[in-house]
């Protein structure tokens, strides 16, 4: 598989560029005031988004929040009520055909032809992408290998499990080697192993320079693969930033998890005397130490414990995960919208 990725990287679009421009175009995806209304209902409202080459953007929100609407507009399958969207500097209004050549869109649910085998299904869409001759079969075989579905090549498409269907959909999306991938709930219905494999595949695609939007309503699915994240609810994107910035915004103070061998109360007493410590909470056999605001250097704490005769078995920062960030940043949002 690694050999295939190296070969594919050499053959893929190096730059998502407008032929009218002498220089490569960045950002790859750009939206401004993107809005869609149905009567008096806003499906999405004034979405501003900017993604560069290689960005893996986690689009997070509950069902009906506006994720699919946004992706369908970017892929030119739906017109906005107002606002603008560009893919590689092509406008959705004036250059939809050019955008469709650059975009691979994978919906949450898509139809399968009951009387087609898996390989036939891919060849059908490869022909639609005008991949001709021996290259068509080779391309389809490569896609099956990359999504780990080659063992099902001769099975009928309607016999696949939900997870296998998702992987077949991703293989179809990758057939024409798009620069931009819009993946609507690609991890939905996958078993744990398939979910890990899919996440690894998405990471590799991002490393190849693909610009990817991945939507999900399950936060931990995207926490460890995205470099940017957007949180949307009721059509309003309340958070749009790099993951590191989101975590920093949520955690204003450092929390340490410290464990010692021996008397825990004595260790708490030592740490309570340190100016860097704001509060201490005992949880089971560990101490959760909240540092005072602005404190970043906490090396003196371990020195104080060791000098007092304590042996340290655990000393680490508590990590804020994406789920905690979501809960903190969207607290009370429902009442404000």
If pLDDT is split at 50, 70 and 90, which confidence band does 102 have?
A: very high
pLDDT over 70 (residue 52): yes
Over its C-alpha atoms, the chain yields an Rg (Å, rounded) of: 24
Q: Say yes or no: 170 and 303 in one domain.
A: no
Q: Say yes or no: 127 and 231 in one domain.
A: yes
Question: How much is the pLDDT for 272?
Answer: 93
Domain assignment of residue 326, yes or no: no
**Alpha-carbon distance values, 337 to 238, 281, 327 (Å):** 10, 36, 16
Cβ neighbours for 156, distance < 8 A, ≥ 6 positions apart = 114, 115, 116, 117, 118
Residues 149, 174: Cα–Cα separation, whole Å:
14
Mean pLDDT across the chain: 83
More confident residue, 278 or 112: 278
Q: Say yes or no: 271 and 146 in one domain.
A: no
Question: What are 214's strand-pairing partners?
Answer: 58, 183
The enclosing domain of 138 has a CATH number of 3.40.50.300
Per the structure, the complete domain to which residue 82 belongs is given by: 2-248
pLDDT over 80 (residue 50): yes
The enclosing domain of 275 has a CATH number of 3.30.70.100
pLDDT over 50 (residue 20): no
Question: How much is the pLDDT for 197?
Answer: 80
pLDDT tens sequence across 239-273? 888 877 777 666 667 889 999 998 999 999 999 99
**Alpha-carbon distance values, 22 to 27, 94, 164 (Å):** 15, 20, 42
Question: How much is the pLDDT for 319?
Answer: 72
The winner for highest mean pLDDT among 87-101, 134-148, 157-171, 179-193 is: 87-101
Q: Say yes or no: 215 and 314 in one domain.
A: no
Residues 27, 16: Cα–Cα separation, whole Å:
9
More confident residue, 317 or 1: 317
Q: Say yes or no: 91 and 236 in one domain.
A: yes
Closest by Cα among 16, 20, 72, 23 to 44: 72
Question: How much is the pLDDT for 289?
Answer: 93
More confident residue, 24 or 95: 95
Tokens of 169: 């959909």
Q: Say yes or no: 208 and 314 in one domain.
A: no
Considering only 174-178, 187-191, 330-334, which range has the smallest mean pLDDT? Answer: 330-334
Among 202, 229, 248, give the residue marking a domain's end. Answer: 248
Cβ neighbours for 334, distance < 8 A, ≥ 6 positions apart = 233, 234
Among 226, 248, 270, give the residue marking a domain's end. Answer: 248
Mean pLDDT of 108-129: 87
pLDDT over 50 (residue 334): no
Q: Say yes or no: 258 and 193 in one domain.
A: no
Question: What are 99's strand-pairing partners?
Answer: none
Query: Into how many domains does the chain fold?
Result: 2
Q: Say yes or no: 186 and 68 in one domain.
A: yes
Mean pLDDT of 280-298: 88
If pLDDT is split at 50, 70 and 90, which confidence band does 19 have?
A: very low
If pLDDT is split at 50, 70 and 90, which confidence band does 234 have?
A: confident
Residues 282, 132: Cα–Cα separation, whole Å:
66
Mean pLDDT of 198-209: 83
Domain assignment of residue 327, yes or no: no
pLDDT over 60 (residue 21): no
């Amino acid at each position: 598989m690694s050999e295939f990725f190296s070969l594919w990287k050499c053959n893929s679009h190096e730059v998502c560029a407008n032929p009218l421009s002498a220089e490569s175009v960045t950002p790859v995806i750009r939206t401004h005031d993107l809005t869609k209304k149905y009567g008096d209902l806003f499906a999405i409202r004034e979405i501003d988004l900017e993604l560069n080459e290689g960005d893996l953007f986690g689009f997070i929100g509950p069902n009906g929040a506006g994720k699919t609407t946004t992706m369908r507009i970017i892929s030119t399958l739906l017109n906005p009520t107002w606002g603008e969207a560009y893919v590689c500097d092509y406008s959705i209004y004036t250059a939809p055909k050019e955008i469709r050549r650059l975009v691979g869109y994978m919906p949450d649910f898509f139809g399968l032809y009951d009387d087609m085998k898996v390989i036939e299904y891919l060849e059908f869409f490869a022909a639609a992408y005008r991949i001709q001759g021996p290259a068509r079969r080779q391309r389809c075989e490569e896609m099956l290998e990359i999504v780990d579905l080659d063992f099902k090549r001769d099975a009928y498409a309607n016999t696949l499990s939900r997870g296998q269907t998702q992987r077949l959909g991703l293989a179809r999306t990758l057939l024409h080697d798009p620069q931009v991938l819009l993946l609507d709930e690609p991890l939905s219905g996958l078993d744990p192993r398939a979910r890990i494999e899919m996440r690894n595949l998405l990471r590799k695609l991002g490393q190849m320079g693909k610009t990817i939007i991945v939507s999900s309503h399950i936060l931990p699915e995207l926490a460890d693969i995205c470099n940017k994240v957007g949180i949307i609810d009721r059509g309003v994107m309340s958070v749009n930033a790099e993951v590191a910035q989101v975590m920093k915004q949520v955690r204003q103070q450092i929390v340490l998890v410290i464990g010692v061998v021996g008397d825990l109360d004595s260790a708490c007493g030592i740490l309570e005397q340190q100016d860097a410590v704001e509060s201490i909470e005992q949880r089971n056999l560990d101490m959760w130490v909240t540092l005072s605001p602005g404190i970043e250097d906490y090396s003196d704490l371990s020195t104080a414990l060791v000098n007092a005769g304590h042996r340290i078995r655990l000393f680490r920062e508590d990590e804020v995960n994406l789920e905690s960030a979501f809960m903190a940043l969207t607290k009370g949002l429902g009442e404000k919208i």
